Amino acid sequence: MEGDRCDFCSEGRLRSQQVRENYRAGKGLVVIEKVPAYVCDKCGERYYDAGVAKQMRQLAKKGTRNKTKISFPSVRFQESKNSA
């Protein structure tokens, strides 16, 4: 995959990187650090090998029981009355 053209934007090239993935698990959200991915250098689209995707699913299931917790602010989008 390294160097392949991005299927999403058709302009960029894929580069191997480690990324932080925010993965939904049921009603929760699990943050998985240092995930090996191929990232488009133009649009940022991410691609994962099948084994990596499978491991992320397994980690996300276990992650909801993880003792390490983080908190972050959450806001709700409301459309402005002035928007056209």
In-domain check, residue 79: no
Q: How many domains does the chain have?
A: 1
In-domain check, residue 26: yes
pLDDT at 18 over 90: yes
In-domain check, residue 84: no
In-domain check, residue 27: yes
The pTM of the full predicted model, rounded to 2 decimals, is: 0.74
> pLDDT value at position 67?
66
> What domain range is 48 assigned to?
14-63
- Each residue of 19-77: pLDDT tens digit? 999 988 777 788 889 999 999 999 999 999 999 999 998 888 886 676 677 777 888 88
> pLDDT value at position 81?
78
Positive or negative, the CA dihedral 57, 62, 63, 68 is negative
